[in-house]
Amino acid sequence: MTTATAADYGWIRSSSSPFSYPLESGYTLVLVRGVSPAELLAVAGAEPRGVCEGLDELIEQHLELIDESDGWDACVLAGACTVPGEEGDWTLALALGGDFWPLGFMETLSAGSRVVTHSSNGGKPMHFFHWYENGELRTEFEWPTVRRGSSPDELNSLICEVGLGLTDEEASRVDRKAAVFALAERLTGVRVTAELLKLAEYQTAEMPEEPAEEWKGVIIDITDAHGVRTYVNIKNDG
């Protein structure tokens, strides 16, 4: 497990940070183990738009999508890439324009695996963190003093270790966004850096305006560092 803290993610607030645009426009960052970028986008029912090199190009594609569209609210573009993390490869998916994933998507994606997400809706002060395990929402919060999920207190020690704290006074003394980046790293082993975001090759796709119903299934086949295999065949029987 890593020892990341909020201090390791202070770069997200610098004037030259590649994450400035996601913070302004709204975003969701998703980390999932053992699911490929293509599989993630397929489960989301997203419409492929090709491949782009780096976050700058992903942002350009998002701005083009906004120009093509009737309104900002309908414009969510996701870019997904493979990154190293705990117990193997993970997929990092960054959706620009807000939190607009289909209903039940995270539960489906986390079947037999782990999903960690954090998000912002842009100009309004709404920022969320979610941890899913084996199809179940384990912990979620906007403000760390009010936690929900099947095990809302399981991350309490990590929340404190990354610098966030469990009281209003503690949480007000730290950059909460930097802290949830660190919390996500603690749960995934994925260190998100400015360089990673700038240089990654993203598979891009436009998120649907309505929840997707057309995908037929996805196979998640994971072998962890101890040689234990988890095989899940998720089918859409709707």
Residue 208 banded pLDDT, cuts 50, 70, 90? confident
Tell me: the pLDDT tens digits for 58-72? 999 999 988 887 655
Contact 161, 186 (CB under 8 A): yes
**SS3 track for the chain:** CCCCCHHHHHHHHCCCCCCHHHHHHCEEEEEEECCCHHHHHHHCCCEEEEEEEHHHHHHHHHHHHHHHCCCHHHCCEEEEEEEEECCEEEEEEEEECCCCCCCCHHHHHCCCCEEEEEEECCCCCCEEEEEEECCEEEEEECCCCCEECCCCCCCHHHHHHCCCCCCHHHHCCCCHHHHHHHHHHHHHCCCCCHHHHHHCEEEEEECCCCCCCCCCEEEEEEECCCCCEEEEEEECCC
What pLDDT is recorded for position 160? 96
Range name among 24-33, 56-65, 226-235 with the lowest pLDDT average: 226-235
For the cut 60, the answer to whether the pLDDT of residue 236 exceeds it is no
36 and 91 in contact (C-beta within 8 Å)? yes
Rg (CA), the chain: 17
Residue 213, pLDDT > 50, answer: no
Query: Which of 19-28, 61-70, 93-102, 204-213 is modeled with the greatest confidence?
Result: 19-28
The pLDDT assigned to 75 comes to 80
pLDDT by residue (tens digit) across 73-124? Answer: 568 899 999 999 999 999 999 999 877 678 899 999 999 999 999 999 876 6
Question: In this structure, are residues 218 and 35 in contact, taking their beta carbons and an 8 Å threshold?
Answer: yes
Per-residue pLDDT at 103? 82
Nearest to 185 by CA among 172, 196, 170: 196
Q: Which residues contact 169 (CB under 8 A, 6 or more apart)?
A: none
Cα angle: 129, vertex 75, 104; to 5 degrees: 45
167 vs 233, higher pLDDT: 167
pLDDT above 60: residue 230: no
pLDDT of residue 99: 72
Query: Which one, of 196, 212, 189, 210, lies nearest residue 58 by Cα?
Result: 196
Q: pLDDT for 125-171, tens place per residue?
A: 788 999 999 999 999 999 999 999 999 999 999 999 999 999 989 98
Mean pLDDT of the chain, nearest integer: 87
Whether the CB-CB separation of 238 and 213 falls below 8 Å is answered with: yes
Q: What value does the mean pLDDT take over residues 23-40?
A: 94
Candidates 134, 148, 29; CA nearest to 92 is 29
